[in-house]
């Protein structure tokens, strides 16, 4: 009897732990930028091999995606059943894209091993997508969880920005530290924009959709996150945020509210002043506004060489138009990449280069199907649709000038908010009298 009682207690404890993880898994995702800074920082610029790989490929995010998928399976996720629920067009497109994704590992003319690695990465993202949909749909606390996520994510990004700023001042503005490649947690100074862009987008979306709920907190987060982002030299997120604001202003009446624009303008102006007031290290690429002011009117200086990448990538795609070169091969195919740059800094070109016009077109079609379901046909709460649209459109706009669909963290955040309106809409349909 005692043995049975102990066994039952263990089962109950495991069940309680599983339920807790299923409800609060988003907290683990939001902690990734902080974990990166704490684990992947060196005061002398020396890193072990695993740290180099983790910094370069955002591996903590990828490992977390795997963990969340396992969690979803333990909570009853059945991939066959989930695939069976998809509309026929989605099944056909997804199945065809997966065939091309895996086929590129054989057809690749560059380095097949890299295409295999990339296929494993993208399959992990697909499994994570299924896991997020399952956990969101199953968890009764998803609304509470995601609502808190809207504050926790920007707050965590602010903590990361503060730690990086303290590291810079501790190391010394006049030191010979390699700021471009050895910044805490990130292999490239520009990668810091990947955590600040979604954070700022969420705060702006919340400020428009929920103007009476904690506005001062979100205004403060916008000021600090935007100020640190500009101080660190990131300019791509600015384009993404302008793109997101433009799209959402056209599509949501809440974004055309005068109070939102007054608050947003005050916050952005204060952020600009903050970035200009903070001293920058010598011989660094810090100071986005200073660099914009000092840049010439030449295309190369304004686009940081991206235009050359894009023109060359179009030519490369024309040489293998149907099934592409295989993902993660860009740096060894492109002459402008010099064996270093891993993507063409433009998402649509990246998809077409990796999987050709057929595979890339299928992937864009799948994204379009989900976006239509999320932001056009879903019956979700209006504030959820607006906030999610602000983040998704910002990240998509950002992807038009950078490689955010190469890295697991930005892909994971994009997936969560692309799915949130769909899942909330399905929950509302189940609650409706007609059901």
Q: With respect to residue 45, please indicate whether it lies within any of the assigned structural domains.
A: no
Q: With respect to residue 407, please indicate whether it lies within any of the assigned structural domains.
A: yes
Instruction: Enter the pTM of the model.
Output: 0.92
pLDDT of residue 337: 83
CB atoms within 10 A of CB 166: 11
Helix, strand, or coil (residue 419): helix
CA distance 293 to 277: 15
pLDDT of residue 142: 46
Q: With respect to residue 223, please indicate whether it lies within any of the assigned structural domains.
A: yes
Residue position matching structure tokens 């997101």: 244
pLDDT of residue 141: 43
Residue position matching structure tokens 């945020």: 241
* Number of compact structural domains in the chain: 1
**Could you state, in chain order, the average pLDDT of each consecutive group of 10 residues for the chain (435 residues)?**
57 68 84 90 87 86 95 93 93 94 71 85 97 85 58 94 95 91 88 95 96 93 97 93 97 95 97 95 86 59 76 94 89 85 93 94 97 93 95 97 94 96 81 50
* Angle between helix 193-209 and helix 382-399 axes, rounded to 10 deg: 150
Q: With respect to residue 154, please indicate whether it lies within any of the assigned structural domains.
A: yes
pLDDT of residue 146: 59
Range of the domain at 356: 2-39+62-431
Q: With respect to residue 49, please indicate whether it lies within any of the assigned structural domains.
A: no
Q: Closest by alpha carbon to 125, among 326, 431, 412, 413?
A: 412
Residue position matching structure tokens 């993404």: 240
Q: With respect to residue 148, please indicate whether it lies within any of the assigned structural domains.
A: yes
DSSP state of 376: I
CA distance 164 to 52: 18
Q: With respect to residue 44, please indicate whether it lies within any of the assigned structural domains.
A: no
Q: With respect to residue 117, please indicate whether it lies within any of the assigned structural domains.
A: yes
CA distance 58 to 406: 10
Q: What is the pLDDT of residues 230-270, one digit of tens each?
A: 999 988 999 999 999 999 999 999 999 999 999 999 999 99
Q: What is the pLDDT of residues 315-369, one digit of tens each?
A: 999 999 998 888 888 998 988 888 788 899 999 999 999 999 999 999 999 999 9
What DSSP assignment string belongs to 116-174? HHHHHHHHHHHHHHHHHHHHHHH-TTHHHHHHHHHHHHHHHHHHHHHHHHHHHHHH-TT
And the tokens for 198?
């979604």
Helix, strand, or coil (residue 407): coil
Count helices and strands in the chain by DSSP H and E runs: 19, 0
CA distance 118 to 355: 11
């Amino acid at each position: 009897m005692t043995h049975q009682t102990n066994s039952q207690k263990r089962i109950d404890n495991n069940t309680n732990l599983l339920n807790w993880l299923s409800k609060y898994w988003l907290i683990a995702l939001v902690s990734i930028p902080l974990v990166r800074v704490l684990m992947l920082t060196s005061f002398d610029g020396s890193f072990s091999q695993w740290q180099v790989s983790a910094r370069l490929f955002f591996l903590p995010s990828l490992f977390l995606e795997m963990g969340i998928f396992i969690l979803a399976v333990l909570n009853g996720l059945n991939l066959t059943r989930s695939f069976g629920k998809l509309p026929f067009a989605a099944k056909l497109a997804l199945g065809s894209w997966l065939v091309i994704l895996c086929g590129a590992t054989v057809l690749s003319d560059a380095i097949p091993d890299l295409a295999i690695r990339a296929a494993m990465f993208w399959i992990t993202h697909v499994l994570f997508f299924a896991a997020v949909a399952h956990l969101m749909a199953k968890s009764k606390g998803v609304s509470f969880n995601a609502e808190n996520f809207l504050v926790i994510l920007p707050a965590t990004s602010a903590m990361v920005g503060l730690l990086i700023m303290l590291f810079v001042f501790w190391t010394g503005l006049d030191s010979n530290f390699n700021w471009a490649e050895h910044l805490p947690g990130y292999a490239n100074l520009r990668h810091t924009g990947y955590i600040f862009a979604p954070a700022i987008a969420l705060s702006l979306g919340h400020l428009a959709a929920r103007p009476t709920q904690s506005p001062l907190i979100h205004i403060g987060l916008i000021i600090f996150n935007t100020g640190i982002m500009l101080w660190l030299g990131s300019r791509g997120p600015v384009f993404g945020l302008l793109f997101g604001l433009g799209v959402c202003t056209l599509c949501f009446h809440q974004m055309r509210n005068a109070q939102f624009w007054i608050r947003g303008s005050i916050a952005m102006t204060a952020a600009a002043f903050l970035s200009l007031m903070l001293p920058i290290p010598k011989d660094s690429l810090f100071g986005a506004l200073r660099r914009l002011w000092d840049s010439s009117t030449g295309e190369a200086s304004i686009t940081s060489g991206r235009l050359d990448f894009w023109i060359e990538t179009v030519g490369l795609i024309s040489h293998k138009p149907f099934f592409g070169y295989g993902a993660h091969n860009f740096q060894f195919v492109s002459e402008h990449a010099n064996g270093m740059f891993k993507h063409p800094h433009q998402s649509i070109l990246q998809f077409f280069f990796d999987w050709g016009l057929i595979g890339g077109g299928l992937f864009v079609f799948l994204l379009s199907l989900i976006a239509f379901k999320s932001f056009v046909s879903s019956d979700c709460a209006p504030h959820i649709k607006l906030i999610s649209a602000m983040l998704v459109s910002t990240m998509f706009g950002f992807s038009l000038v950078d490689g955010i669909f190469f890295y697991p963290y930005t892909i994971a955040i994009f997936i969560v908010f692309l799915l949130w309106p769909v899942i909330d809409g399905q929950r509302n349909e189940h609650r409706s009298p007609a059901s």
